[in-house]
Amino acid sequence: FMVDKGNRRHFMEKEIHEQPEVISHTLAHYVDFTASTSRPLDLPFDFARIDRLALSACGTAYLSGLVGKYWFERIARLPVDIDIASEFRYREMPISQNSAALFISQSGETADTLASLRYCRKAGVPIGAIVNVRESTIARESDVVLPTLAGPEIGVASTKAFTCQLSVLASLAVRAGVARGTISPDEEKALVRALSEAPRYANQVLKLEEQIEKVSRELSHYRHVLYLGRDTNFPLAMEGALKLKEISYIHAEGYAAGELKHGPIALIDENMPVIVIAPHDRIFEKTVSNMQEVAARGGKIILITDRKGAEQATVDTMETIVLPDVPEIITPIVYALPIQMLAYFTAVFMGTDVDQPRNLAKSVTVE
């Protein structure tokens, strides 16, 4: 069937704006908003009985899995082995019989992800697939399909599929926490309530379009950009960099803020904008020190934070994008939006083919 851009310039823009709706749609599949509980799932394994989870995917889907690792380990105390699929399939990782494997893919056709799935199939462990296309090969070859309900994603740069993958992973981590007894019924309720607020916050963030467009105009004058984040915002830093390079062709790297002094700080000067993704969390002060190190070397900081973070960041920034204060579990979902919008507007200013960037395919079905 046909999907059109509606009144938007690009599919990517339309897909960014669809997020409040599709996140809500996806979450509703996994959690009960009224009771504030996670829904029981018919899984080929029992979260209470496995001792490891293997995750694999490519690109943006991999980065959602990386956020998922923090959630599964923190909420459900379930250790996660995660790798990009092109490494996973060849590195001959021993797979414990007490584990389950999850593969994440928008298209469900990515060659390396499929090969990783088949590797796990041979190892004889139960397999789940978080996919957007339910009729896909990866969906067909897995024991359980955990759908993202993002609807068709046309833009080559993945946006709404990413936040829906995060929504599924967060819900699964809560479910795993319930099954493993690592969270109480009250904690489950609080987490589900927090998740259910994600669509509303995503909507609020979309309203920052004007400011983000202005920052993007500035960004489009640079050749290199560094993204920094800690904890679940570290994968987000990598996602921001991936998005920017894909569609604007500006070189970008995403780093864990704590790694700055182990190398990338050598790059910092007035020609290197640094985008810092830092909600006010328990390690916020650490990130503030990193920003001071950047500022001291003339680096230009674009800080994406919340109200409290903006108050307490004792550093001069080129721009501070202030998001609403959101519950911790949904920060990667909510902060994904400004990251996508920055890449989008920068690409528009660069005049690139936003939906069909050079050299890239929507789904990489060959190795």
Q: Just list the catalytic residues.
A: 362
CB of 151 to ligand AGP, least distance (A): 14
* Part in contact with ligand AGP (CB under 6 A); list of ranges 40-48, 53-61, 193-201, 284-292: 53-61
Residue linked to tokens 């009224």: 34
Indicate the residue among 106 and 331 with the shorter CB distance to ligand AGP.
106
* Part in contact with ligand AGP (CB under 6 A); list of ranges 55-63, 92-100, 144-152, 265-273: 55-63
* Residue ranges in 213-272 that form contacts with ligand AGP under rule CB under 6 A: 246
CB of 105 to ligand AGP, least distance (A): 3
CB of 61 to ligand AGP, least distance (A): 4
* Part in contact with ligand AGP (CB under 6 A); list of ranges 59-67, 175-183, 226-234, 316-324: 59-67
* Part in contact with ligand AGP (CB under 6 A); list of ranges 22-30, 153-161, 252-260, 300-308: 153-161
Is 106 one of the binding residues for ligand AGP (CB under 6 A)?
A: yes
Q: Name the token pair of 55.
A: 């995750």
Is 136 one of the binding residues for ligand AGP (CB under 6 A)?
A: no
Is 64 one of the binding residues for ligand AGP (CB under 6 A)?
A: no
Give phi and psi for 193, each to the nearest 5. Answer: -60, -40
Residue 351 exposed, middle or buried by CB count within 10 Å (0-12, 13-18, 19+): exposed
Indicate the residue among 156 and 277 with the shorter CB distance to ligand AGP.
156
Is 107 one of the binding residues for ligand AGP (CB under 6 A)?
A: yes
Residues 6+ apart with CB under 8 A from 61: 104, 105, 106, 110, 113, 130, 158, 161, 162, 165
Residues 6+ apart with CB under 8 A from 17: 8, 206
Query: Which member of 86, 137, 148, 158 binds ligand AGP (CB under 6 A)?
Result: 158
Is 59 one of the binding residues for ligand AGP (CB under 6 A)?
A: yes
Is 68 one of the binding residues for ligand AGP (CB under 6 A)?
A: no
Q: By the 8 A CB rule, do 113 and 56 touch?
A: yes
CA separation for the pair 332, 277 (Å, rounded): 10
* Part in contact with ligand AGP (CB under 6 A); list of ranges 31-39, 52-60, 225-233, 288-296: 52-60
Query: Which member of 120, 156, 192, 252 binds ligand AGP (CB under 6 A)?
Result: 156
Which residue number has the CB closest to ligand AGP? 59
Task: Determine the size of the site formed for ligand AGP (CB under 6 A).
Answer: 15
Is 66 one of the binding residues for ligand AGP (CB under 6 A)?
A: no
Query: Which member of 56, 60, 196, 233 binds ligand AGP (CB under 6 A)?
Result: 60
- Judged by the rule CB under 6 A, the positions of this chain that interact with ligand AGP are 58-61, 105-107, 110, 113, 156-158, 246, 363-364
